[in-house]
Amino acid sequence: MAVDFDGGMHREKISSYHSPKKLYKNENSLNGLNDALNEETVKCAVQQNDMEIVIETGDELTTKLKGANINRLPKLYKPRDLLFSIFSTCLFVADFVSDILLALQYYNESNILLFQLTVTFIVAPSIFSFIINCVWNYMVYVEESEKKDLEIRIPKKLLFLRIFFSLIQLGRLFRNLEYMYYMVLSWKWKGTNLETRVRLRAMEEKRDACILGLVDGFLESAMQLLLQLYLAFHHNLPATFLRVVTLSLSLAGTSWIHTAFYRHSRNIDITKHKMGIRISFVYWLCVLAELSPRFLLLASFGAYFMPWCFILPSTHFLLMMTVHIYTNPELYGMCCCKAGKFLFLVLCSYINIFCFINVTGGKTFKKRLMFYILFYIENIVMVALSWYKTQMNQSYLVYTLLIAPVGFVCHMLFLLLYYKLFHPNNRTYL
């Protein structure tokens, strides 16, 4: 029931298509809130257990709408969401298999050092991800054991399966399958009392899969991509078909992981318009154009300036971590405890070495602008130093001098295309 500012009580249906600002201005049924709300809505959070919406507007208003008849919260999943997840899963499997095939190729060619390095960059991130999964699932187990409603508990067998698949480096794949299972189940139980609960569960599984995707993707795929580019620069390796496919899949997979996380973060926020498949594809092209020259420059910088190459990314990481701690983002729907929040900010700061990721919420234009000024200043420095160093070795000079500026131009064009034509606020493209 919602408290009417005229003193009455009423039950209202809230649309997930509008931000609170637009909602209270457009819905005649909430005229009581229209005068009380100011122009800037600070935050809007959704809690699963009691389906509570909390809307805060500075110090002027805090109101709770408990038991409201919430329209499409969580959202009604569509077949395209299933196709999106299937594509993500296939891309992950293809990337993982290609890394193994490349390692076997090194072994068959008696390049033992390259074989050992490739295997190390597959296994080490997987071990780290496995540890994170174990800690995460233990926290889930403790939380679930405190619940009184046996029906909504996560079975111990399921927690065990999550840990087992993480051990064999398929933890993210398993969580994606969980998400798809509950998505299909929500269609089966549509119109029943269990529909909302199942959709909430699917939303949680997708959130976990996206976070695990960030961990696995930017630890395994990104580092594997950096390693193979570094080896290509340092050892002047030929561009074989398998090497090109492996590099392409790692780059595409890392970019897609970032896009999937951004899409999910936006789609679970009831204050924002939803992100469709076409919009996601355009945003993926933005991330792809952003990451491509960055990986190339970091790899060439490492090949020619070892060990000094670690100074720039380390400084960038510390700066981003300082900014994240200072801004103290809320991270609604992502992290519930302080330790989890800190670790998530560490992960985001690490990702910021390669690309922009917004964790503070709200409008991102100014944040993107400040980040990209620093980002491309660093790229220019690496281009200049790599060009100077490669005067004695012309093999990969063309890649450094061509892909970096072309990537910058493509990145700016795709960003302009995204924000001017395909942004979710332009509802023509939903």
- Residue 45, pLDDT above cutoff 60: no
Segment 223-249 shows an average pLDDT of: 89
Structure tokens at 257: 């992981």
Q: Specify the length of the chain in residues.
A: 430
Instruction: Give residue 336's pLDDT.
Output: 60
- The lowest-confidence range among 42-46, 138-142, 175-179 is 42-46
Residue 110 falls in which region: left (phi positive, over 0), alpha (psi -120 to 50) or beta: left
Structure tokens at 73: 């919260």
The secondary structure element, H or E, covering residue 123 is helix 112-145
Q: Which residue has the higher pLDDT, 286 or 272?
A: 286
Reported as a pLDDT band with limits 50, 70 and 90, residue 107 is: very high
pTM for the model: 0.74
Instruction: Give residue 378's pLDDT.
Output: 92
Segment 293-298 shows an average pLDDT of: 91
- The lowest-confidence range among 76-80, 103-107, 146-150, 172-176 is 146-150
Which amino acid, residue 235? H
Instruction: Give residue 46's pLDDT.
Output: 38
Backbone angles phi, psi at 392, to 5 degrees: -90, -10
Looking at every residue in the chain, the average pLDDT score rounds to: 74
Reported as a pLDDT band with limits 50, 70 and 90, residue 248 is: very high
Q: Write the pLDDT tens digit of every residue in 175-203.
A: 888 888 888 888 887 777 777 778 777 87
Backbone angles phi, psi at 46, to 5 degrees: -120, 125
Instruction: Give residue 372's pLDDT.
Output: 94
Reported as a pLDDT band with limits 50, 70 and 90, residue 390 is: low
In terms of Cβ atoms closer than 10 Å to its own Cβ (0-12, 13-18, 19+), residue 280 is buried
349 vs 368: CA distance, rounded Å: 14
Q: Write the pLDDT tens digit of every residue in 336-364.
A: 667 777 888 888 899 999 999 877 666 67
Reported as a pLDDT band with limits 50, 70 and 90, residue 29 is: very low
Instruction: Give residue 428's pLDDT.
Output: 43
Instruction: Give residue 277's pLDDT.
Output: 81
103 vs 106: CA distance, rounded Å: 5
Q: Which residue has the higher pLDDT, 150 or 38?
A: 150
- What percent of the chain lies above the pLDDT cut of 70? 73
49 vs 56: CA distance, rounded Å: 19
In terms of Cβ atoms closer than 10 Å to its own Cβ (0-12, 13-18, 19+), residue 5 is middle
Residue 65 falls in which region: left (phi positive, over 0), alpha (psi -120 to 50) or beta: beta
Backbone angles phi, psi at 38, to 5 degrees: -90, -175
- Residue 13, pLDDT above cutoff 50: no
Peptide linkage before 20 cis (omega within 30 of 0): no
CB 379 within 8 A of CB 406: no
Q: Which residue has the higher pLDDT, 318 or 19?
A: 318
Q: Which residue has the higher pLDDT, 110 or 194?
A: 110
Instruction: Give residue 70's pLDDT.
Output: 37
Based on DSSP, count helices (H) and strands (E) in the chain, helices before strands.
14, 7
Q: Which residue has the higher pLDDT, 77 or 62?
A: 77
- Residue 18, pLDDT above cutoff 70: no
Question: Helices 241-267 and 195-216 sit at what angle, rounded to 10 degrees?
Answer: 140
Dihedral angle sign, alpha carbons of residues 334, 75, 252, 414: negative
